[in-house]
Each structure stands twice: as C-alpha cells, then as structure tokens.
C-alpha cells in the first residue's frame, strides 16, 4: 500500500488552517464543521447500504437480526443532531425533519456562539432508485446572549447572516462542500482512510453555462416569464450560446453540485398548486444561495435576492432560481413584469 500523501489536506487540517489565519477566531466554527463531517461519514455508511434494505428489512420494521430498521432521513437527522449536541460549538439546531427548533441545554452548548439549520437527507425519494442524495446545512451566529437557551429568533435570520453553509453529496463518491465568505472548497471522502480530503479548492461557478434544471412536468403551471425563459433555453443554437441541455434529477444537491462545477441554472418556481414553490428557505435555499454567491453565481426568488429574505417561520417555502451569473441575468430579463 502506498503511504498517505501528506500534501493532501484533510477537512480538519484545512479548516484549522483557514481559521487560524483570522484574528480572534476561537476555532468553534472549525469544530462545528468537523462535527458535521463526522455525521456525514456515519450517514454515508448507511446510505451506501440503502439498496440492501429489501433483503435486510424495510424501514420501520425489524431486520433479520431483529433490530429495527430506521428510515434513512430519521437516521441522518439523529446523527447530525447527536454530533452537534455533543460537540462544543453549537447552541441548538433546527431541522427540516422536526416541527420546532431544538435548544441544547448544557453548559458548553449554552455558551456556544453558533446555531445550525439543516436538511438531513434531501432528495430522499431518490434513495430507492440509487440516485445521489445529500445533506444541506447553514450556520448562523446566534442573536441571543451566550449562556441563554437559544430561541426561535436565532433560527429566523436572513441567509445573508450565515457564516458558513455547505452540503454533502452521497454520489459516485461522497463529497463535502462548504463555503465561508473566504471561498468555497470541496472535500472528497477517501474511504480507505475515512477522511474528507481537499479535492476541489476554491470552487467557482462558471459565469455562463449550458445546463438548465427544472421540472418540465409543471411547465403549464409556471408563471409566464418562467415559461418564456424555458422557451429561450430550448431555442438556443450555437450562434446564441447553445445548444443547452436540460438536466433534472429531482435531487437538488445532485443538480446544484453539477451546475456549480459546470455552470448552469436551477429553478424551482412557484406553480398554480404551490404559489410559494416547494423548497424550504432555511434548509435548502439559503445554504445553496450562500454557496452560489460566494462561488460567483446568483440566487433569487424571482424578485429579490434569496439571502435578503427575512424568514417569518421555520419551514417557510420560497420559489428558487440560482446559478451562473449570465444565465441568471437572462432569466431576470424574462421575469420582468411586462410594461
Ligand atoms: P424530497 O427530499 O422530498 O425528495 O424533495 C427533494 C426536493 C429537491 O431536492 C428537488 O430538487 C425537488 O424536491 C424535486 O421536486 P419535484 O419532484 O417536485 O420536481
């Protein structure tokens, strides 16, 4: 076996190095990111076994060893909550899986400065068909005083106040990508050593892309401006920067990871049935809007910047458009109200 390549930075080494360079940094954020990395490794192990559920036992029932098989999204939620509760940097969480936020009521947690909002396993309807799924998270500095129990106000902050945001994609390889204001960096899990290793330093989203991602099945329910933009995408030729490709898995982590790397535009617009769209502001849209903006792209709800929306409830939904800068500019032209 070859010796470990010491020039490759692990997630822990990288975050410690990054935050060391910031005057007065306490290291709490790097600890929190390390905790999320730990939960991701545990979730990854179970996600990789998902195809065995039929022979080992259905979720909610007992497996052949007589153990109860947990639904993967519940499992992911428990793991994330567990590492953050027992870590030393997080004062509380809110999760797409839970009705309310959870304050951590022990001395160390109460003294922590961050809270975390997460979607533990997004795209879980794709598990049965072996398509990539993911975990999404956003980290905020709490607004309540250290020492107090966190309150709802700590979780209802606009996305622009995130100090870090990221996702884990359980795909052909497992990656953790996170952004701070200093940049976006991606780490691939090396299963032979069980470490996330820096594989995609300083990620940026190409200004122009040729991929648009949207659920075409809802086309006739979309606002006219969105329909107009989709028609423009379909009409692209070589002469107008095309042709474009339509790519949509139904798993936003997979769609956005690809678009971040290759350039592209992802949309989940409002529909007649769901005027506020489907995606959740705090668990899905804000983390990706933050990552995309740091990477040079843009994110809006069709009218305003996603990161400026003041949330009024934990599970609020919003239409979402995000991606490459120039594609977003063309979309925005199509969405302008007709005068
Ligand atoms: P879920 O976690 O319930 O599978 O939802 C996934 C999300 C998101 O990841 C994806 O882009 C979108 O919902 C897909 O929704 P549609 O099937 O309505 O297009």
**At residue 57, does pLDDT exceed 50?**
no
Could you tell me the strand order of the sheet in which 245-246 lies? Answer: 245-246, 211-213, 265-268, 320-323, 298-300
The model's pLDDT over 216-271, given as tens digits with 9 standing for 90+, comes to 999 999 999 999 999 999 999 999 999 999 999 999 999 999 999 999 999 999 99
Query: Is 123 near ligand 1, meaning CB less than 6 Å away?
Result: yes
Residues 169, 49, single domain; the answer is yes
State which of 77, 247, 249, 268 you would mutate to test the pocket of ligand 1, scoring each by most atoms of that ligand within 8 A of its C-beta. Answer: 268
Whether the bond into 288 is cis, omega within 30 of 0: no
Clarify whether residues 67 and 195 are in a common domain: yes
Statement to judge: residues 193 and 307 lie in one domain = no
Question: Torsions phi, psi of 159, nearest 5?
Answer: -60, -20
**Number of domain units in the chain:** 2
Domain range for 101 is 11-202
Task: Determine the average pLDDT of the residues in 308-333.
Answer: 98
**Do 195 and 232 fall within a single domain?**
no
* 250 ligand 1 Cβ < 6 A: yes
* CATH code at position 268: 3.40.190.80
Residue 182 sits in the same domain as residue 235: no
Q: Does residue 62 have its Cβ closer than 6 Å to ligand 1? A: no
The reply to whether ligand 1 has any atom less than 6 angstroms from the CB of 154 is no
Query: Tokens 């956005």, residue?
Result: 256
- Dihedral-angle region of residue 272 (phi above 0 means left; psi in -120 to 50 means alpha; beta otherwise): alpha
Report which secondary-structure segment, H or E, holds 117. strand 114-122
- For residue 66, name the pLDDT band (cuts at 50, 70, 90): low
Query: Which CATH number characterizes residue 33's domain?
Result: 3.30.540.10
pLDDT > 70? residue 177: yes
Is the beta carbon of 60 within 6 A of some atom in ligand 1?
Answer: no
Residue 102 lies in a domain: yes
Ramachandran quadrant class, 67 (left: phi over 0; alpha: psi -120 to 50; beta: rest): beta
Q: Which percentage of the chain shows pLDDT scores above 70? A: 92
Which numbered atom of ligand 1 lies nearest the CA of 125? 4
Q: In terms of pTM, does the model score above 0.90? A: yes
pLDDT tens digits for range 102-153: 999 999 999 999 999 999 999 988 888 889 999 999 999 999 999 999 999 9
ipTM of the complex: 0.92
């Amino acid at each position: 076996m070859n010796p470990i390549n010491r020039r490759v930075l692990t997630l822990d080494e990288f975050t410690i190095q990054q935050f060391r360079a910031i005057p007065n940094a306490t290291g709490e954020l790097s600890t929190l990111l390390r905790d999320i990395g730990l939960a991701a490794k545990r979730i990854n192990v179970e996600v990789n076994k998902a195809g065995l559920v039929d022979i080992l036992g259905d979720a909610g029932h007992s497996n052949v060893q007589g153990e109860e098989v947990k639904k993967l999204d519940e499992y992911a939620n428990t793991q994330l909550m567990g590492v953050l509760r027992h870590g030393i940097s997080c004062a509380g969480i809110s999760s797409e899986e839970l009705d309310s936020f959870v304050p951590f009521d022990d001395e160390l947690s109460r003294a922590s400065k961050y809270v975390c909002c997460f979607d533990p396993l997004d795209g879980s309807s794709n598990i049965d068909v072996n398509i990539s799924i993911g975990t999404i998270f956003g980290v905020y500095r709490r607004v309540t005083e250290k020492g107090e129990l966190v309150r709802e106000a700590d979780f209802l902050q606009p996305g622009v106040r995130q100090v870090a945001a990221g996702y884990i994609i359980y795909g052909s390889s497992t990656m953790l990508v996170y952004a701070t204001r200093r940049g976006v960096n991606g780490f691939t899990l090396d299963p032979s050593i069980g470490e996330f290793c820096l594989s995609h330093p300083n990620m940026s989203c190409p200004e122009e892309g040729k991929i648009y991602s949207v659920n075409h099945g809802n086309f006739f329910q979309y606002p006219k401006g969105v329909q107009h933009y989709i028609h423009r995408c379909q009409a692209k030729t070589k002469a107008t920067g095309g042709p474009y490709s339509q790519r949509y898995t139904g798993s936003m982590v997979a769609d956005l990871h690809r678009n971040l790397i290759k350039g592209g535009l992802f949309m989940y617009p409002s529909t007649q049935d769901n005027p506020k769209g489907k995606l959740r502001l705090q668990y899905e849209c804000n983390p990706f809007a933050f990552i995309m903006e740091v990477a040079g792209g843009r994110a809006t709800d069709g009218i305003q910047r996603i990161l400026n929306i003041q949330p009024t409830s934990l599970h609020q939904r919003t239409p979402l458009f995000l991606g490459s800068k120039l594609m977003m500019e063309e979309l925005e032209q199509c969405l302008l109200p007709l005068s």
